[in-house]
Amino acid sequence: MAEAKSSSKGASDALEWLAKQAGFPPLLILRRYLKLAIEFSIANEIMAVLLADAPAESCAIPVR
C-alpha cells in the first residue's frame, strides 16, 4: 500500500524533514513523539530502569 503524501515533505519523517529545513518542530509533533516513546517504554517495561543502568541497545525505540 502506498503511503499518502499530505505535504511537501513527502514520505520522510517529520523530524528529519524539519532538521533539513533548520526548523524547530511544533510542540504538537514533539508531544506525539513523546507519547509514542512513553507508550513503547511502558509496554516493554523499561520505564523503571535508571538511565545510567540501561544498556543503549536494550532501550532503543524502533523507527519505522
Instruction: Give 25-48 pLDDT, tens digit per residue.
Output: 788 888 988 898 889 888 988 888
Residue 57, pLDDT above cutoff 70: no
What predicted TM-score, i.e. pTM, was given to this entire model? 0.53
- pLDDT interval class at 1 (50, 70, 90): very low
Q: Return d(Cα 53, Cα 50) in angstroms, integer.
A: 5
Which helix (H) or strand (E) segment is 14 a member of?
Answer: helix 14-20
Cell of 58: 536494550
